[in-house]
Amino acid sequence: MQSSDSMRAQIRTLIVATSVIQLAIGFFTTFISLRVAAANFNTTLAGLILSSYFAGFTWGALRCARIIERVGHIRAYSAFAGSAIAATAAMPILTGPVSWMILRAIVGFGCAVVFVTTESWLNVKAQPRERGRVFSTYMVGNFVALAVGQLLIARIEIQGSKPFHAIEALFALALIMVSTTRAEPPVVTATDKLPYGELARAAPIAVIGCVVNGLLASSFYALVPAWMHDRGVDRKTIALLMLMAVFGGLVFQVPVGRLSDRFDRRIVLVALGLGLAATAITVIFLPRSLPPLVAPAALLGGFISTLYPVCVAIANDCMPADRVLAVSGRLLLISGLGSVVGPLTGTSIMARSGISGLFYFMAVAAGLLALVAAVSCLVMAAPRHRLRTFKILAPHATSLAHDPLGSPSNIPPNSIGAISAER
């Protein structure tokens, strides 16, 4: 039996290691957008390269449970963190667009397995009375690391192989930390499957909202840095604007979570959709300089990052309590599919209408979500709020804030995240 001090040391190691990986991903996401823009690939190829990470991540989220069941947590973490390192190292050698698509998909797959492994591991190792604090610390660490990753854009020359080496070093550091920890592997149990049709019938607005979230998040974080690079915006300004988007995502979590607990969550979704649409349209008419865009960038990041957790809460209100984990997994995959389509659609729109077209696209998608949520409020009674966690999620498709391998009965209702829903 492990002592409580040993258990806490393992938890700290996992949190720090995952924050290091989030730092790498925060830098990698913006960096690859700038490199694709500098390479002058055609619209379709650029969209495919930017989408490939999300495709790999989504596929990894779908397959990782079986992988972890077969080889265990430590081996799964080591193997797929290693695969992400290898794929990153190959990118400056194999520079063709098809090679980059494949390698980025491998990185996405590896990251999905790493994050699922970490979060299911944390869920088992943390004591029930400490689990909320542990996961709150974990997610705040993720946000801070993502933000620092944006700042690296201003510090490292994006041409050449140095950025790839920096990313490899960060992945390797996390791998060393986790591989050398004295860890007792968690007990692995499989979860029940949830048919997509059952979820769509019970909570259609949650399914639609997760698709829209994936579309908007991937479009914004993948394409806006590339557009700014094409227009000669200096890297420091790009880094600061993306930093503000990440910061906005963190700041919005607590107030939106409280509103979601207090009111009909669909009304909150209407407000988020309208706010996002209004902000996107406002950006179109603002000067393309740093001071006027700081606040809109934070607002866009905040609105985008809170769509998904509100949709998860809506779905959990509509589904039986014993399906919480399955619901989270299904919605993550649905959002991931939207993330794959986002850059493809966005690059096509930008080729015809420029950056204004992208923001109009974001505004229309968010406005349609708000409309569907408003109609749902008018024609359907509000589902009763359950005692659920409002999950604090990072703004990229990199956090699966549920245990995909654990039994629902092992997880208390107020176990993950900082904010619990009221009845």
| Residue 193 pLDDT level (bands cut at 50, 70, 90) | low
Compute the distance between CA of residue 155 and CA of residue 23 in angstroms, rounded to an integer.
14
pLDDT computed for residue 128 by the predictor? 59
Rounded to whole angstroms, how far apart are CA atoms 183 and 8? 11
CATH number of the domain enclosing 358 = 1.20.1250.20
> Whole-angstrom Cα distance, residue 332 to residue 319?
16
pLDDT surpasses 60 at 375: yes
Q: Residue 190: pLDDT above 70?
A: no
The pLDDT value recorded for residue 133 is: 67
Task: Give Cα separations from 175 to 23, 152, 371 (angstroms).
Answer: 14, 21, 45
Number of structural domains (the chain) is 1
Q: What does pLDDT average to over the chain?
A: 80
User: Alpha-carbon distance 408 to 199, whole Å?
Assistant: 17
- Asked whether residue 118 carries a pLDDT value surpassing 90, the answer given is no
Task: Report d(CA 373, CA 111) in Å as an integer.
Answer: 32
Phi, psi angles (nearest 5°) of residue 161: -100, -5
Q: Look-up: residue for tokens 């699966």?
A: 400
Instruction: Report the pLDDT averaged over residues 47-76.
Output: 85
Q: Which of 278, 255, 217, 287 is nearest to 29 (CA)?
A: 217
Segment 108-129 shows an average pLDDT of: 77
Give bridge partners of residue 419 from the DSSP assignment. 390
Domain boundaries, position 319: 4-420
- Which DSSP string corresponds to 117-175? HHHHHHHHHS-GGGHHHHHHHHHHHHHHHHHHHHHHTTTS-SSSSHHHHHHHHHHHHHH
pLDDT exceeds 90 at position 186: no
The residues near 355 (Cβ < 8 Å, ≥ 6 apart) are: 224, 227
Q: Which pLDDT band, with edges at 50, 70 and 90, does 257 fall under? A: confident
**Alpha-carbon separation of residue 337 from 211, 340, 417 (angstroms):** 7, 5, 24
Output DSSP code: residue 390: E
Burial label, 191 (beta-carbon count in 10 A; 0-12, 13-18, 19+): middle
What pLDDT does residue 131 have?
62
Q: What is the mean pLDDT of residues 179-200?
A: 66
Q: What is the pLDDT of residue 323?
A: 65
pTM for this structure?
0.77
Cα 4 to Cα 244: distance, rounded to the nearest angstrom: 38
pLDDT tops 60 at residue 368: yes
Burial class (CB in 10 A: 0-12, 13-18, 19+), 322: exposed
Whether the pLDDT of residue 279 is over 90: the answer is yes
- Look at 254 and 278; give whichever has higher pLDDT: 278
